[in-house]
Structure 1
Amino acid sequence: MEVRRLRLLREFADRGSVGAVAAALHMTPSAVSQQLKVLADEAGVELLEPDGRGIRLTDAGHALVLRADDVIAAVDRAAEEMLAYRSGNATVRLGMFPSGSTLLLPELLYRAADAGIDVRASHFDVAYGDAPPGLTVYDIVVTHRDERTASIASPRVAVTELMREPLDVIVAGISPFARRAAVDVADLADSDWISVDGGFPVDDVLLSISAVTGVVPRVTQRMLDFTTIEALVAAGHGIALMPRHAVRHPGVKALSLKGVRAARVYEALTRPNPRGSVAKVVGLLREVAAAVR
């Protein structure tokens, strides 16, 4: 079985359709289908089966994808070793949510460069359950979840916990709450909230507040940019939950939240048995996160 065909099978497992694989790899759908058929002939067993108007992996197909992950990881490690002999540097692709990038990336780049690793980072900000598909593009995806949310469990994804970051309530500097160091969730029942989109960790905590107070938080604005959220709170348009290390606006006051545990957990996702430079960068991320704590 050729490695390039195993890569196609893995792409199909990640992307879910021949058309998506073809678009991602700049191939025609017929070429992808033909290569997958050749792989099935090589394997001597059907790897795909009809599923409505599309196709899906058979049990044998799922089993081969797991083995393909191992084979591809070994080939990539070998290729990286040869690259290191030629150039002395390895490249690792990193996808990371914006506020996590602000906190961890500057120091990570210094440490990775000292280790002879070229980290190529991009923003990748999706709901927690949508993070694993990012491994089709990145070697490492750094994501975050509410601490009550179960960690991703998949034989095709390795999860490394990096840190726990408390969430605080931010209020305008002129708010009566600003005289406090902490606030009980019950005191916030009648407040207007500014939150992120549903499915992101900060918004998940609002659901916990609802369970504690018996009152559904009144969310009046939804933004994905913490800088905008801080500006709205500073202007008196509501209160918000913010990760502790992301609070920077001089016009807001951060208060500890009493009555409910509120935090987000940073995780690094990779394929199982990643090549050496990828494993090294994950280790460096843990070091940088530990320094933040």
Structure 2
Amino acid sequence: MDATRLRILRELADRGTVAATAVALSMTPSAVSQQLKILAREAGVPLLEPSGRRLRFTDAGQALVVRADDVITALDRADVEMAAFRTTPRGRVRIALFPSGAALLLPAVLDLVTDSGVDIDAQDEDVPASAVPPLLADYDVVLTHRDERAPALSGPRVATTGLLREPIDLVLPPGHRLAGRDEVRLGDLADENWISVRGGFPVDDVLLSVTAATGVEPRVVHRINDFHVIEELVAAGRGVALMPRYSVQHPRVVRVRIAGVRAARIYELVTRHGAMERPAVAAVLEAFRTAASRVDRADQAGVVQIRRAPLS
């Protein structure tokens, strides 16, 4: 049964006459009568019967008025709830994050949305930036990363928000001949064994970019996407590596800046176009921006708190 016709029926019960109902609803009396006849056909039983020059409700009609109250009350409640979703950050937001980015930002993001009415459903997805758009079929927001020399992700169905620049540093074993320097040129590492991540991920993209800029062809002996394992191998003297600054955690490795080359990965948030019109999604994006700005300020001040990030 149509909700609009149920409203007309309830209005008739309140007003008493078709004419008064028509005035209240800005309709003509004939239109009101027509809608009531259609409602009776939908119900399958007579709802009204003549009583002199007026109409009175049948037993079925009286019963349906009561149910109409229930239905209309529920619909009005739903309208209020939907209005709240349209104007305040409420609801569930599904987020995909690459693991080291999640370790760095997710705890602060969760803190920032606590008690806001937003529920975050976070899952790790460690894929190259090129594989991010298909993830939007399952997620509202995707945190991704890329080499700063690579173009930002773009497309007719995606929107990208820049978030954070994380420098890439050189990680050396303890006691390495270059470990005492503040900066190292990669040309000084031409004969070293390198440990990198799989191809297509930002750290390896940076290594390739550095290769193009310096002419030094790195000898990569291991490709592992777990930064913790990379640190352990470097600490054991099995090679050198490039690592994002905020992911370096091992107490025995030595982190050194790369001289002569700008090397960094860029954090970006990817959504569908129009997703930010949902207050809940907008609140989550703002929480990410706040968390990222805290990390950036701490890094600039030289006091960034480095978290252990087990995956790339």
TM-score (norm 1): 0.70
Deviation at 1:81, TM superposition (A): 3.4
Structure 1 outlier segments of 4+, above 3 Å: 78-85
Q: Secondary structure at the match of 1:251?
A: coil
Give the secondary structure class of the aligned counterpart of 1:145: strand
| SS of equivalent residue, structure 1 residue 208 | helix
Equivalent of residue 290 in structure 2, options 277, 287, 290: 287
* CA displacement at 1:84 relative to structure 2: 4.7
Q: CA deviation at 1:218?
A: 0.5
Which consecutive residues of structure 2, in runs of 5 or more, have no partner in the other structure? 1-78, 297-312
Letter in 2 for 1:186: G
2:136 aligns with 135
Higher Cα radius of gyration: 2
Deviation at 1:155, TM superposition (A): 1.8
> What is the 5 A alignment of 1:189-228?
189-228=190-229
| Cα separation, 1, equivalents of 2:214 and 2:90 | 54
SS of equivalent residue, structure 2 residue 101? helix
- The one-character-per-residue Cα deviations of 1:102-121 (angstroms, maximum 9, x if unpaired) are 00000100111232211110
Higher mean alpha-carbon deviation, 213-222 vs 239-248, is at 213-222
Q: Which letter does structure 2 place at the counterpart of 1:283? A: E
> How far off is 1:273 after superposition?
1.1
1:134-173 correspondence runs (5 A) = 134-173=135-174
Q: Residues 234-256 of structure 1, C-alpha deviation per residue, up to 9 Å, x if partnerless?
A: 00000001000000001101000
Tell me, in whole angstroms, the C-alpha distance in 1 between the residues paired with 2:215 and 2:287. Answer: 42
Tell me what 1:266 maps to: 267
Q: Percent identity?
A: 50
Residues 99-138 of structure 1 aligned to structure 2 (within 5 Å): 99-138=100-139
Alignment gaps of 5+ in structure 1:
1-77
Residues 198 and 113 from structure 1, CA distance in 2 versus in 1: closer, same or farther, beyond 3 angstroms?
same
For the residue of structure 2 that corresponds to 1:278, the secondary structure is helix
Q: Is the 8 A contact 1:92 1:278 kept in 2?
A: yes
2:113 counterpart SS class: helix
1:56-105 CA-partner distances (Å, limit 9, x unpaired): xxxxxxxxxxxxxxxxxxxxxx99836859xx941100000000000000
Q: Return the letter of the residue paired with 1:217.
A: P
Matched, 1:178 2:179: yes
Q: TM-score, normalised by structure 2?
A: 0.66
Q: Is the deviation greater in 128-137 or in 227-236? A: 128-137
Could you say what the CA RMSD is over the residues aligned between the two structures, in angstroms? 2.0
CA contact (8 A) 1:191 1:238 kept: yes
